[in-house]
Amino acid sequence: MRNLAPLTLEPGEHFNVFYGDNGQGKTNLLETVFVVSTLRSFRTQRLAELIAFDVEEAHIGARVQRDELTRVYELVLKQRSRRVRLDGKTVRPVSRYFGQFNVVLFSPEDLLIPKGSPGARRRFLDRAVFNRQPAHLSVVRDYEKAIKSRNTLLKDAMASGALNRDLLAVYDEQVATLGARLVAARIGLLVELAPHFRRAFDAITKAGLSVDVRYDSTLELVEGTPPVDDIAEALRGQLADARATDLRRTTTSVGPHRDDITFRFADRAASSFASQGQLRALVLAWKTSELELLEQVHGEAPILLLDDVSSELDATRNEYLFEFLRHRHNQCFITTTHPKHVLLSSNRRDYEVVGGRIHTR
């Protein structure tokens, strides 16, 4: 995996702290855990980029114990292919791979989410939905394929002057039905997360200020969680209304790929009115509430990947994070430039990472 030397690691049950200078491979280790759990990377769209320069393939495996049941997850990456196995057997369909091995990532990039791009916020939200509902990943992929096919058809129509309306109708229906499932899952996650999120933010700031996360859609949606069929019907109408515009622009202008989420702070957009510390408190509240929700839903705490976040939080928020973790049962993989930044004195194992090699300390 990238610059990591081959290794077999038996981590501790609670806190595992990996420290070292930048560029030594700490984040690569977290990426390895994330990839074998989700079959996706949080750093690149192409898994082939994880393969070290001097080898033809990368092997990743994880032995996961849950509810006294041990399962073995395996992934072999090549430049143009991947092979996925669960308990020694090829997984078909691949959706059967997910559901029992959940990880939550908290990285410095997440702290930029409230003021970042809409695309980054959509990926941030979809990652949380996937942890809640593993089938969400296939819906996202199928929706993206449908949008790509529709856009290609629009471009071909502009170039040739002829539109295949029957094929457009097929793509419109795919976009509407898949998009409705995508929107419903996103909104459903936000509704479930909301009470945890508000409680966590209040515990972090102790300021008594109201906070919220709202789903901003190209559709006009009722409050709560709208029925999937209603969302699909609304999307069909939007696609029909936007057809002339889409043909002229050769792209699909409506749908959940254009949606966003807005962090609200004291009933105003946090990106415009919240301080830097408050923005980071919002993301910290999201992550801790996500851990709470997943433990509540799945009956077991997810694995937490904490990538050098301590260096980006002020002392108060850093203290809150580790105080929160002390009282939970998450297995944690924590990276840092120096072990002193991790405010934990017990139930931890320390490892030094140097030049892609991991040494127990």
Tell me the per-residue pLDDT of 122-178, one tens digit each, with 9 for 90 and over.
999 999 999 999 899 899 999 999 999 999 999 999 999 999 999 999 999 999 999
Mean pLDDT (the chain) is 91
- Please say if the pLDDT value at position 331 is more than 90: yes
The more confident residue out of 207 and 148 is 148
Predicted pLDDT of residue 328: 86
- Tokens found for residue 32: 């390895």
Predicted pLDDT of residue 86: 94
Pick from 347, 343, 315: nearest CA to 330: 347
- Tokens found for residue 9: 């690691």
Predicted pLDDT of residue 265: 84
Predicted pLDDT of residue 206: 83
Pick from 108, 91, 8, 28: nearest CA to 360: 8
Tell me the per-residue pLDDT of 233-284, one tens digit each, with 9 for 90 and over.
999 999 999 999 999 999 999 999 999 999 998 888 888 888 888 888 999 9
The more confident residue out of 287 and 218 is 287
Q: Indicate the pLDDT class of residue 1, thresholds 50, 70 and 90.
A: low
- Please say if the pLDDT value at position 315 is more than 90: no
Q: Percent of the chain scored above 90 by pLDDT?
A: 63
Predicted pLDDT of residue 49: 83
Average pLDDT of 206-218?
88
Domains and CATH numbers, the chain: 113-275 (1.20.1050.90)
Pick from 154, 306, 325, 314: nearest CA to 242: 154
Tell me the per-residue pLDDT of 27-56, one tens digit each, with 9 for 90 and over.
999 999 999 999 988 888 888 888 887 788
Predicted pLDDT of residue 166: 96
Q: Indicate the pLDDT class of residue 60, thresholds 50, 70 and 90.
A: very high
- Please say if the pLDDT value at position 216 is more than 80: yes
290 sits in the region (left: phi over 0; alpha: psi -120 to 50; else beta) called alpha
- Please say if the pLDDT value at position 334 is more than 80: yes
Residues 6+ apart with CB under 8 A from 297: 132, 192
Predicted pLDDT of residue 292: 94
Rounded to an integer, what distance in angstroms lies between the CA atom of residue 257 and that of residue 218? 9
Statement: the pTM of the whole predicted model exceeds 0.75: yes
SS3 99: coil
Q: Indicate the pLDDT class of residue 291, thresholds 50, 70 and 90.
A: very high
Predicted pLDDT of residue 222: 64
Residue 69, strand partner residues:
66
Predicted pLDDT of residue 178: 98
Average pLDDT of 331-346?
92
The more confident residue out of 179 and 330 is 179
Predicted pLDDT of residue 276: 86
Residues 6+ apart with CB under 8 A from 4: 25, 28, 29, 32, 52, 356, 358
Rounded to an integer, what distance in angstroms lies between the CA atom of residue 37 and that of residue 28? 14
